[in-house]
Every structure is written in structure tokens, then in C-alpha cells.
């Protein structure tokens, strides 16, 4: 999908379609009046009949029948101007783009970034618009004989002010890169487990490193064992697929600045191991590497955007299988941190491999560490599919991630992590056990991770938000690619490189 920009009014722009944003109470705006007149009062009649009420994301599709330069006109509601947000623009763009795509439109113009509103600049509006359009157009048909032939080839941002051109162009370019990187993560998540193995994930990391100038190292089983990563080795023991520990470094910030380390759970398929899962919907466990996919996508985006920041991405990757050599309930593993871990449930494996990655992150003496993982069903029980759980040991860091979630539409909600929860994971025979009591499972999982951390740290539990079985706005069925845009926004604001 190509994005371009023109200083031209929509009533003179000849194209397949035009997407127009409209606020509540502004039906008499000049551009809408011009359009309504050309269409013989169609918009006025739709408003009177309450077919279109300017609600956020609501669309009104009109065939101009040659009365307007654009063949298909789609008006999308933005709600009240004083309540506009980047995510409302993102969703409006997604809704309008979906209508265009389903109508067979290949090229269209949009006015969603033509003027600033409610504190949002035209650049921010263009970024949100591009993200919504690109993310909503995503299709995963790699394994289908018949491909989706409905594609949007080009979207042109229209503005009547030359002074807006540079900001809109920059915003649209950034939005495209972020959306492309999120869709890259979606592809990894949606791939079947027999294709997206730890080795495949490592090769994908090498490819993006080569393309974007990122330093990449991949450790195999012998190196992982030599380091003393007992958690990762223990989980990998039951699988014929060799484990991989992926290290990506983008050190383009000031040399005096400590790096931010992103850690992502890369469990490419999770059967539960000896503590095997029920068979229903087990196929979705190919998505258990969503955190790792998000880290790879975020590193790709950071490099493509040429962020002047120091960033490290770590992805411990393996399968969790019930093989003859698999770790058994009751076994004790020793992590890289030196902490001994009693494995009472082999399906609580994510925290075991993350423990080693978090300990490894300490070698960078980082500014902070943020991990993302599809870690607990308990987090889904607590927050559903609308928000990710957010834990940590530094209030400022937690608040920065929460605010990034609000800006990107990838919301996170802070959860408690008081010292009392440490009592719930004390083991009788080791330092810690890998599960706590039935209640508060998302919190005790975070408490387990905390044992392997040095310095400022936050944990984002994306178990309920990383994968969806229904389409909603710019979210498509399957992998969401959540965490890519969230982490880039967080890094930009944390390091001060956001502009």
C-alpha cells in the first residue's frame, strides 16, 4: 500500500473514491455542503433519516454516479471534535478503508489529516490514519490456494494547506512503518507451528537485522546450556526442535545513555508439556510467541524509523512438548539468575524461559527492562480482551507504558505486585515454585518474574489481547501484532526522541 499527499480539494480530486471525516454538529461544513449539493441532498436526507449520526467509526457509503470526481464516497463519523483522539481516527480510517476495499476500490483520497483538532497535529492524524488503513487491510492468506484479490494500492492524503504537507507526509510514513511492523508480527503469530519453529523465528530475526542494520546474535542449545539458562533448557527438553535465544541490538542513541531492553516470550507452540492442555482450541497455542513477535516487530520498526535510541531485544524461543525427556512436575531447575525453581506445573513454562532472558538483560545494565508475554489465563479473567495486565517495580515506568497504551489504543492496566504475593510462590524444596494458589495467578506469575530482575522493570501480560477470533476495527482475526506500536511509542517518550 502506497501513501501520497496532494494539496488539492476533494471536490476536484478525480479518483476511485474519497474518504471524508465528519464531526457531530458540523454537517454544514463547506466541504460537506459542496458534496451534498453535488449529490442532490443525499447526505441531508441520510442525516434526517438518522441513517448517519456522525458517531465514531460510523460510515455512510455513497456511489456518486458521476456527479462527483470520486466514484465512491465514504463519510466516516468522528464523534465530537472536542473528544477526538488518535485511536478514534485510527478506527475511523480502518472503517472507511474496509468499506473501500470491500467495494473493490483500489485508490482513494482521504481528508482525515487535513486539519488539526483537539490538540492533535496533522502529522499525528496522518500517522493514525495510515495505521488504521494499513492494519485494517491486513490479510493472512499464505497457505490459501485462492488469494484475496481485493487490495488498496494507494491512499492520497488531501489538504488545502501547503504548510501541512511536510507534517502529513512524515506522519503517514511513520504510520506505515509501524503498521508494517505490526503486520510482520501478525504474520509470525498466524503461521502454523510446524513452520514457525524457534529456528524459523531466529532466521526472521537475522533477516530483519541484515535489512535494517541491526546487530543480531542467535544462541543454540549448547551455548544456552553453557550460559546456565536452566529455565529455557528445561522447557526445551521435551521437544525435537532446538531452542534459540535471540539477541538484537540497535545502539543508535547517545553512548552515555543506558539501553532499554525489550524481552518477549517466544514459545512457538505450547502443548502444556507433561501438564498437557485440553485439546479444544490447542491449535491457537501457535500464538504463544506473540510477545517474541512483538519484540522482533518493535526492533524492526525502531531501525526502519532510525530512532536515535539504544534498544535491545531478547527473545527466548522454544516449544513446550510432552516428550520422553520433558521436564516433569516436581523437577527443580536453576535459572541464569541462580534462583532455583520448582516446576509444579509444566504449563507454567513461559515464566521459566522469561526468567533466563530477564536475568540476561541485566548484563546490559539497562535503563529499564520491559517484557511482553502471553503469560496467564488469569489475566484474561481479570481484564478480558480489552486491556493487557501491567506490572512492575517502578511507578514512573508503569505510568509511561500505561500512557503509551492510551495513545496507541493498546491499553494496559496497572495491577498490584505487593511483597505479600512473594509468599504465594515460596517452595518447600527450592527458592521459588512456578505456580501459586488458584487466585491471583497473573500476579503470582509476575512475582515469579520479579525474582530474576535487577533494576527498573515492567511486565505486560498480553494473554487476552494478543490474539482474537473476531474482527473489530483495525484488528483482524488471528494475531493482533500488539506491542509493536506500544513499545515504539513508549521508547520514543522515555528517551525523549518523540517529535
The reply to whether 181-495 shares the fold of 2-137 is no
Helices (H), 66-197: 86-102, 122-136, 165-190
pLDDT at 499 over 70: no
What b/e string do you get for 284-310 counting C-beta neighbours within 10 Å, with b at 16 or more? ebbbbbbbbbbbbbbbbbbbbbebebb
Whole-number pLDDT of residue 81? 94
Question: How far lies 334's CA from each of 66, 113, 165, 265, in Å?
Answer: 72, 54, 57, 19
The predicted model gives 422-442 an average pLDDT of 97
The predicted model gives 466-484 an average pLDDT of 95
Q: What is the dihedral of CA 274, 280, 282, 287, to 10 degrees?
A: -140
Q: Domain coordinates of the chain in residue numbers?
A: 2-137, 181-495
Rounded-to-integer distance, Cα 190 and Cα 326, Å: 26
Whole-number pLDDT of residue 348? 98
Provide the pLDDT confidence category of residue 202 given band limits of 50, 70 and 90. very high
pLDDT at 149 over 90: no
Going by their DSSP bridges, the two strands 412-414 and 340-342 should be labelled as unpaired
Provide the pLDDT confidence category of residue 8 given band limits of 50, 70 and 90. confident
Q: Where in the sequence numbering do the catalytic residues fall? A: 277, 351
**CATH number among 3.40.50.720, 3.40.50.2300, 3.40.220.10, 3.30.390.10, domain 2-137:** 3.40.220.10
Express each pLDDT in 301-315 by its tens digit.
Answer: 999 999 999 999 999
> Measured on CA atoms in the order 185, 189, 193, 195, is the torsion positive or negative?
negative
Question: How far lies 242's CA from each of 202, 229, 248, in Å?
Answer: 11, 14, 19
Name the CATH topology of 181-495. Aminopeptidase (3.40.630)
In the chain, % of residues over pLDDT 70: 100
Whole-number pLDDT of residue 30? 82
Rounded-to-integer distance, Cα 101 and Cα 140, Å: 15
In the chain, % of residues over pLDDT 90: 87
Express each pLDDT in 106-127 by its tens digit.
Answer: 999 999 998 899 999 999 999 9
Are 222 and 235 a contacting pair, CB within 8 Å? no
pLDDT at 65 over 90: no
The rounded radius of gyration (Å) of the Cα atoms in the chain is 24
Whole-number pLDDT of residue 381? 96
Report phi then psi at 440, rounded to 5: 70, 35
The predicted model gives 401-427 an average pLDDT of 98
Whole-number pLDDT of residue 48? 86
**Average of per-residue pLDDT values in the chain:** 95
Closest by CA to 213, choosing from 313, 317, 309, 299, is 299
Provide the pLDDT confidence category of residue 67 given band limits of 50, 70 and 90. confident
Amino acid at each position: 500500500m502506497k501513501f501520497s499527499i496532494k494539496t488539492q480539494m476533494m471536490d476536484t480530486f478525480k479518483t476511485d473514491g474519497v474518504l471524508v471525516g465528519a464531526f457531530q454538529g458540523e454537517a454544514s461544513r463547506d466541504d460537506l455542503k459542496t458534496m451534498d449539493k453535488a449529490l442532490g441532498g443525499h447526505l441531508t436526507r441520510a442525516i434526517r433519516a438518522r441513517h448517519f449520526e456522525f458517531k465514531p467509526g460510523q460510515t455512510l457509503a455513497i456511489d456518486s454516479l458521476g456527479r462527483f470526481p470520486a466514484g465512491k464516497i465514504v463519510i466516516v463519523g468522528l464523534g465530537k471534535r472536542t473528544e477526538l483522539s488518535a485511536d478514534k481516527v485510527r478506527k475511523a480510517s480502518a472503517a472507511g478503508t474496509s468499506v473501500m476495499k470491500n467495494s473493490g476500490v483500489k485508490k482513494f483520497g482521504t481528508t482525515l489529516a487535513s486539519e488539526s483538532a483537539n490538540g492533535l497535529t496533522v502529522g499525528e492524524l496522518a500517522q493514525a490514519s495510515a495505521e488504521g488503513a494499513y492494519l485494517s487491510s491486513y490479510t493472512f492468506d499464505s497457505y490459501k490456494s485462492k488469494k484475496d484479490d481485493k487490495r488498496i494500492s494507494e491512499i492520497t492524503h488531501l489538504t488545502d494547506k501547503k504548510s501541512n504537507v511536510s507534517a502529513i507526509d512524515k506522519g503517514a510514513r511513520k504510520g506505515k512503518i509501524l503498521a508494517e511492523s505490526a503486520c510482520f508480527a501478525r504474520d509470525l503469530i498466524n503461521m502454523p507451528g510446524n513452520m514457525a519453529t524457534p529456528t524459523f523465528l531466529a532466521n526472521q530475526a537475522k533477516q530483519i537485522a541484515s535489512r535494517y542494520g541491526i546487530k543480531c546474535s542467535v544462541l543454540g542449545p549448547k551455548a544456552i546450556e553453557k550460559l546456565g539458562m536452566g529455565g529455557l533448557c528445561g522447557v526445551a527438553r521435551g521437544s525435537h526442535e532446538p531452542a534459540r535465544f535471540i539477541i538484537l541490538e540497535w545502539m543508535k542513541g547517545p553512548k552515555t545513555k543506558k539501553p532499554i531492553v525489550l524481552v518477549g516470550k517466544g514459545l512457538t507452540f505450547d502443548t502444556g508439556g507433561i501438564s498437557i492442555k485440553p485439546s479444544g482450541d490447542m491449535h491457537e497455542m501457535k500464538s504463544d510467541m506473540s510477545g517474541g513477535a512483538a519484540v522482533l516487530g518493535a526492533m524492526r520498526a525502531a531501525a526502519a524509523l532510525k530512532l536515535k535510541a539504544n534498544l535491545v531485544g531478547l527473545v527466548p524461543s522454544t516449544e513446550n512438548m510432552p516428550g520422553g525427556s520433558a521436564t516433569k512436575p516436581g523437577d527443580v531447575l536453576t535459572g541464569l539468575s541462580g534462583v532455583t525453581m520448582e516446576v509444579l506445573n509444566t504449563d507454567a513454562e513461559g515464566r521459566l524461559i522469561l526468567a533466563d532472558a530477564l536475568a540476561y538483560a541485566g548484563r546490559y545494565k539497562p535503563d529499564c527492562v520491559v517484557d511482553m508475554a502471553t503469560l496467564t489465563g488469569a489475566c484474561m479473567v481479570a481484564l478480558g480482551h480489552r486491556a493487557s495486565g501491567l506490572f512492575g517495580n517502578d511507578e514512573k515506568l508503569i505510568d509511561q507504558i500505561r500512557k503509551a497504551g492510551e495513545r496507541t489504543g493498546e491499553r494496559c492496566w496497572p495491577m498490584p505486585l505487593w511483597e505479600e504475593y512473594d509468599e504465594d510462590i515460596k517452595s518447600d524444596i527450592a527458592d521459588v515454585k512456578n505456580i501459586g494458589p488458584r487466585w491471583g495467578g497473573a500476579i503470582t506469575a509476575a512475582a515469579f518474574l520479579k525474582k530474576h530482575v535487577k533494576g527498573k522493570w515492567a511486565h505486560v501480560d498480553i494473554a487476552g489481547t494478543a490474539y482474537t477470533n473476531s474482527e473489530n476495527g483495525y484488528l483482524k482475526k488471528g494475531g493482533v501484532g500488539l506491542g509493536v506500536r506500544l513499545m515504539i511509542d513508549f521508547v520514543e517518550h522515555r528517551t525523549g526522541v518523540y517529535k
